[in-house]
Amino acid sequence: MTVPQSACLRAALQVGYSWLDRGSSALLAVEQAIRLLERSGLFNAGNGSKLQLDGMRRMDASIMEGNQLRAGAVASIEGIVHPITAARLVMEETDHVLLVGPSATQFAEHFKVERHRLRTPPRRLSYGAMLKLKRATRDGHGTVGAVALDRSGTVAAGASTGGIDRMLPGRVGDTPILGCGVYADNETGAVSMTGLGESIIRVAVAKEICERLAQGTTPTTAARLVLQKLVARIEGSAGCLGLTPDGRFAIRHSAPHMMAGWWDGRGKLIVRDRFP
Residue-wise pLDDT for 157-184, tens only, equals 999 999 887 788 889 999 999 999 999 9
Find all residues with CB under 8 Å of 107, minimum gap 6, and list them: 74, 86, 89, 90, 99
Relative to beta strand 71-77, strand 98-100 is: parallel
What rounded mean pLDDT belongs to the chain? 92
pLDDT at site 88: 98
| Cβ–Cβ under 8 Å, residues 58 and 77 | yes
Average confidence (pLDDT) over 192-198: 94
Confidence (pLDDT) at 211: 98
Overall average pLDDT of the 98-121 stretch: 90
Percent of the chain at pLDDT > 90 equals 79
Statement: residue 275 has pLDDT above 70: yes
Q: In this predicted structure, what is the pLDDT of residue 130? A: 58
Quick check: is 143 catalytic?
yes
pTM (predicted TM-score) = 0.92
Rounded to the nearest 10 degrees, what angle do helices 26-40 and 83-93 cross at? 150
Question: Span 101-105, mean pLDDT?
Answer: 97
Res 1 pLDDT > 60: no
pLDDT value for 34: 98
pLDDT reported for residue 119: 64
The predicted structure's pLDDT at residue 42 = 94
Q: Nearest CA to 209 among 197, 199, 220, 198?
A: 220
Number of C-alpha atoms within 13 angstroms, CB side, residue 243? 28
A 10 A CB-CB count for 137 gives: 13
Distance from C-alpha of 45 to C-alpha of 59, rounded to nearest angstrom: 7
140 pLDDT higher than 60: no
Between residues 228 and 166, the one the model is more confident about: 228
Q: Mean pLDDT throughout 127-137?
A: 60
pLDDT of residue 26: 98
* pLDDT score of 257: 84
pLDDT value of residue 276:
74
> What pLDDT shows up at residue 50?
87
Kindly tell me if the per-residue pLDDT of 107 is higher than 90: yes
- Between strands 238-243 and 189-195, the pairing is antiparallel
What's the CATH fold of domain 3-272? Glutamine Phosphoribosylpyrophosphate, subunit 1, domain 1 (3.60.20)
Could you please report the per-residue DSSP string of 229-248?
A: HHHHHH---EEEEEE-TTS-
Range of lowest pLDDT (12-21, 170-179, 220-229, 256-265): 256-265
How does pLDDT run across 31-86, given as a tens digit for each residue? 999 999 999 999 999 999 988 888 889 999 999 999 999 999 999 999 999 999 99
Catalytic residue among 143, 175, 194, 244: 143
